[in-house]
A and B are shown apart, each in its own frame.
Chain A
């Protein structure tokens, strides 16, 4: 479904992504794990078109995303929940969700809104509230709900567990599994490698801009090197 081949990304003189290739198949949960600064978020931003690769190719459902401006990527069926959630803090919950459906015809918005509210009843309770007044967990739900409003085939999640209490982290990961069961393919970037690998079908380990290991979630969870570096022994 998503095929990333030999991409290289620079921030000025810094070579942030070095020849990364990976793919995500229809129906999978794939995770990119690695330490802070390994290039995980950079990879997602490059797929969304917010950053540009100098080489290689990114193909989504058979179509090249080269040169597609970021605001058109979402219409291809690829939604990105950015790091730090980035909900519109001064807009209401419902307005945030409406923005998620920006590329879709007005007639379909009500149905999607009902779907998202069914999945996240908390958001419906708070639909008229300003997003800035939500708790961190609620904001993460809003960010995910907002992305789902575009009816994505592939959902890219950047650090959904960041800054959340353990109980909320579990909840978020349950939601990720549910979404996947409902047919949404997921590309998950996480620092919480334990959690991410336990839900993922496959994973890639990034280190300073390079992929250093790959395997199924279970394989990586039991890999000695991965255990040592990312799973606390």
Chain B
């Protein structure tokens, strides 16, 4: 194994892991507050990617090919529109499907989430058909060459990693520094006590779904920029892997989702390159099982100690 190859895989792994991390953030934030696994989250990613795809293909013909506007405007508009649509979609899903089940057993909520997931996939199938669309990267297909061309890093990878860092920083500042962010943490710990403080728990849950879904739209655009085949089932596997990442890092923990996502991306990339391309899911889930056996709360999961 040569060093350039290793570096190349490292960068690709972190880049793929960044996408998983952004998806995992949605899982983990919703779990932290609503105490439910939103299995439809992966399909919100797919919807975001479709919205971005259609916006970009509609707009790109309006600009002179090769101009700066042709590169920037359709991509930006696509991502922003996808974020808006997914935010609304996430809030509506919560309101219609999950909110009526607030007092229901968690199994009922889980089954509903799986139902919503199938509903979204099949709606996409009806609306947009089953033939794959070829997604153009939101950051263009360029790349930079390092070490006399021995190492190639695509713009997509760079932007993906940067986006992930920015999201992490913004979310950390939001949850630790703003009133609404702190209220979110209070709700995730004790909804009854949060209500007694005057916090509108329902509104806080809606907001969490909104943030998670907006992140899903970004993840969708970035995911399809790296793996350009877009189909109604595009979101489901990355969604499940990102869920694994969230559990891996410690579900409910924001830094945990980040760490779990990146590790998962690295494990997947290295397994594909150095072991086998067929068994990477087995390796990923195998690692998850081992981690959960050793540390059931995940890598950064919090053990809550209560004092009486």
Chain A positions near chain B (C-beta within 8 angstroms): 48, 50, 69-72, 74-75, 79-80, 82, 84, 86-91, 95, 98-100, 102-103, 106, 132, 134-136, 139, 146, 150, 163
- Asked whether A150 lies within 8 Å of B189 as measured between CB atoms, the reply is no
- Asked whether B192 lies within 8 Å of A95 as measured between CB atoms, the reply is no
- Asked whether B196 lies within 8 Å of A48 as measured between CB atoms, the reply is yes
Whether A163 touches B190, Cβ cut-off 8 Å, given contacts A48-B196, A71-B199, is no
**Count the B residues whose beta carbon is within 8 Å of the partner chain — how many?**
23
- Asked whether A132 lies within 8 Å of B183 as measured between CB atoms, the reply is no
- Asked whether A70 lies within 8 Å of B196 as measured between CB atoms, the reply is yes
A90, A99, A103: most-surrounded residue (chain B CB, <10 A): A99
Distance in angstroms between the alpha carbons of A103 and B199 in the assembled complex: 8
Which listed residue, A50, A69, A88, A163, touches B186 by the CB 8 Å rule?
A: A88
Which residues of chain B come closer than 8 Å to A106, judged between CB atoms? Answer: 179
Whether A132 touches B185, Cβ cut-off 8 Å, given contacts A50-B195, A86-B190, A99-B197, is no
Distance in angstroms between the alpha carbons of A149 and B194 in the assembled complex: 14
Chain B positions near chain A (C-beta within 8 angstroms): 179, 182-183, 185-186, 189-190, 192-201, 302, 304-308
- Asked whether B198 lies within 8 Å of A91 as measured between CB atoms, the reply is no
- Asked whether A134 lies within 8 Å of B198 as measured between CB atoms, the reply is no
Offer 29 A-B interface pairs, CB within 8 angstroms, sorted by A: A50-B196, A69-B200, A71-B197, A71-B198, A74-B198, A75-B198, A80-B196, A82-B192, A82-B193, A86-B190, A86-B193, A86-B196, A89-B189, A89-B304, A89-B305, A90-B185, A90-B302, A91-B189, A95-B182, A99-B183, A99-B186, A99-B197, A100-B197, A102-B198, A103-B197, A132-B305, A132-B307, A139-B307, A146-B197
Expressed in whole angstroms, the minimum distance between the Cβ of A33 and any Cβ of chain B is 22
Distance in angstroms between the alpha carbons of A32 and B80 in the assembled complex: 56
